[in-house]
């Protein structure tokens, strides 16, 4: 199975955003949370039972915009050796059968097309 990372952009998150991450957490090697809030929300991550080793949290302490946050997360994932990155909004979620289907289709596509760069 291909190592898959994820970048999630936060802005003033709540426990609901943690539940969204939980819907796909188990299928990813690492999750990069880029927080565009004015304050540090790391206490939210500390409140969950998920392995913190899979999560890297980066507070920006201001809203730098979604493109800047995605770039920051993607650069971190690439620096950590990931070739594939799933990008998610803070309010996006997956049903279990949907994430499994998505990853299965992803695996098929990257085997069929070795030069593929983006799957949408």
Q: Is the pLDDT of residue 95 over 70?
A: yes
Q: Is the pLDDT of residue 63 over 90?
A: yes
Task: Identify the burial level of 68 via C-beta atoms within 10 angstroms of its C-beta, where 0-12 means exposed, 13-18 middle and 19 or more buried.
Answer: middle
Assigned CATH topology for domain 4-94: Spore Coat Polysaccharide Biosynthesis Protein SpsA; Chain A (3.90.550)
Q: Domain spans of the chain?
A: 4-94
**Residue showing tokens 């952009």:** 9
pTM above 0.75, yes or no: yes
**CA–CA distance, 33 with 45 (Å, rounded to integer):** 10
């Amino acid at each position: 199975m291909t190592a898959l990372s994820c970048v999630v952009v936060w802005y003033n998150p709540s426990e609901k955003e943690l539940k969204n991450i939980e819907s796909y957490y188990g299928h990813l090697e690492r999750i990069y949370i880029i927080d565009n809030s004015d304050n540090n929300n790391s206490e939210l991550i500390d409140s969950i039972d998920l392995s913190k080793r899979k999560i890297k949290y980066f507070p920006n302490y201001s809203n730098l915009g979604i493109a800047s946050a995605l770039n920051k997360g993607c650069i971190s994932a690439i620096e950590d050796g990931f070739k594939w990155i799933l990008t998610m909004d803070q309010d996006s979620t997956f049903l279990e059968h949907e994430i499994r289907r998505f990853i299965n289709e992803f695996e098929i596509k990257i085997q069929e097309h070795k030069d593929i760069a983006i799957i949408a």
